Amino acid sequence: MNRVATFELAEPLTIEGDVIMHFTLDQKYQGKDHSIGRFRLSVTKAPAPLNFGVPEDVLAVLKVPAAERNEEQSKAVLEFFKKSDVEFANLQKALVAAKVPRPEDAKLVELRKVRDEVSQPLPVDPQLARLERAVKLSGEQLQNSRLTGAQDLTWALINSPAFLFNR
């Protein structure tokens, strides 16, 4: 498995002529089982970003004719080129940014809050509720005139002075 580390200087060196550079690698691991291994150092004055070529697995797939590649091989080639294409990466970032929902308008939030407050039903006035009940009962009494007559007669008898005197 290939691993690559790329380091860039904060400010480019401006040295004329040939230069000898010395690098010191210090491995602070105390065990004997792991070492840095074989490595290569390269120095260039090429502008960033550096391209180290096509990976071996993608090269192996590219050697196979396009008509004979399976879906996994085609996907590996496509993924490599997607990663290396700067314009595609910029378009992907723009797409992600476009999918981010816009912040909700503060005025709209305030108006919705007012609408919700106004939409709440008003509390029923107790006196109005009593009057509505009386109207309902009166309407029911008017539909049954016989019952109304019997109730009126009973009320008159109960409130008569003779009945009140005897009870």
**Dist. CA 6–CA 41, nearest whole Å:** 10
Q: Is the pTM of this model over 0.85?
A: no
Using one digit for the tens of pLDDT, what is the confidence trace for 100-148?
A: 998 999 999 999 999 999 999 988 899 999 999 999 988 888 888 888 8
Using one digit for the tens of pLDDT, what is the confidence trace for 48-107?
A: 666 667 777 888 888 888 888 899 888 888 888 888 888 888 999 999 999 999 899 999
3-state secondary structure of 163: helix
Sorted by where each begins, the domain ranges of the chain are 106-158
Q: Give alpha helix (H) positions in the chain.
A: 56-63, 71-84, 86-99, 106-119, 126-143, 145-158, 161-166
C-alpha distances in Å from residue 124, one per residue of 70, 82, 83, 130, 138 = 74, 67, 67, 10, 21
pLDDT value of position 41 = 83
